Structure 1
């Protein structure tokens, strides 16, 4: 039997050709922006190696703001920047869950877990209230509240994708948590040394109060070896609060939108974050894989922060005035006080 082989008919258009062409053109359009993002992320990583207390995403957003104001990127870079600013950001936040292990958090004990929950809740409530009194937009005060109360720039970026804030509000919020978190990095170890507090208590305070994970770990290292592990685990316990807070924000936003425009009840990247926590908690993922995933997660967040930073204009930040920084300063002091109270109440348990 002779088999008939179908051959392309040069006189008949291929129905799949427009799809293939569109896919290729979209990919090609993203290359210039992604190339700039990759270069900036590499530069941010080098900056972190030189100044370990400042995370790569923080370096990245600063670099993005500088580029956006000194030499704004043209329209040909927009597709790649858009990909980094949202999809890559959400993947990075989901992968953040691989740094957490439920067992480590539960091992802190009910007293420390209660201190974490109270500190985060008290920080969110007070900062949102004061932000309203200062006349800041709902998005601006939410970003500052999440960044100050939970985990710094990563929380700001994650909340931005839920509340749909603009680039200027995001950059200002990141600036506040970086500035005041850096101040706490120096102040908390100094106070612990001045009053000769128990190193474990000092580490707990650092984990409860300082914004960035890298800053809390650095502060624990300054306080002493007994504080380092405590600061890291307590801080990661605060990071775990990111999931329920984002879920609540998503539910609140759904209520303001029409039925057809509502986002999922729980954002998919939050589900991914929790799935990564569960996977990490099984103990089945090899340490090298977790380490590599941590680098990928930091790189993706750095890429997203650079992309967001390029849309920031210095004039808009100046127009906002000092109010966001007043809110960030007051929120930082409040978190530090509540965190110290929680650490003292727990009594420096042997963790």
Structure 2
């Protein structure tokens, strides 16, 4: 049994999701203690963490012990087969659908058949990547590595009510993931973005976010295309309108060396459209100025996939974060992947993971 102290490194939910996901892949029993012990005043499993590990257990036909809201310790006994097929998971709160998706994705890539997920919860909130970030930055990078993933928004969902929905299709890999090499930042060749607001058309929120973001980029002599979207009951932007008002802005850039970098921000009470526009533009400009080849979200999100790939991946990160340290620790512990960090360059030697059931 692999024993993991969840209070180490970032002490976050990332350790919970990675530990269970990687345990399922290596088929080793897991004991996880001190779950989110540093996350006061609400340590232990929250709804989004609990639903994520339950989803992973369902995928691999595994068994969880002690898994409940607020639990500080669990045991996980993975099954021997990862079963694809159709799954429907509801977090029940505005907890992040994107984080649940990222937890089950490594398993789905090695399932015995294609998977289709429908996940209900929050799509846009602080401290989690937005669905747009995954759609336009992370997933295109994973496709370069050989993954076949399609992610769609069915209904936007915001804090506090959630009830947003995404649909995901994942095909199992036929060969190991290819490594990702992004060592030269290059110069940006295109800026694109999406400015979404729900039930806020009369205040022109989407246009105001887009205008402010565009103005800040054009002041630096960059041209940018940002599509304003209005989600209303009469004319929803997606299949169904959101159940409450909310907003989100996402921006991404491609460079002449093939890098994809993004930035995003969700709306919140007393957070103006103009503030969101300026913040997103500034965040992406700072990432580009840093010489990074991946943004702050992808810098840690890509680590498990690089560790599963065959050969050396290499990329430059904007900064060394607790999440990066946590995920490097996880892939070293569970997979035996070799990792190297020199200043802000990460190199990960993947293990070329294969699974007979994914043939």
TM-score, normalised with respect to structure 2:
0.24
More strand by share: 2
Q: Which has the higher contact order (CA 8 A, sep 6+)?
A: 1
TM-score, normalised with respect to structure 1:
0.24
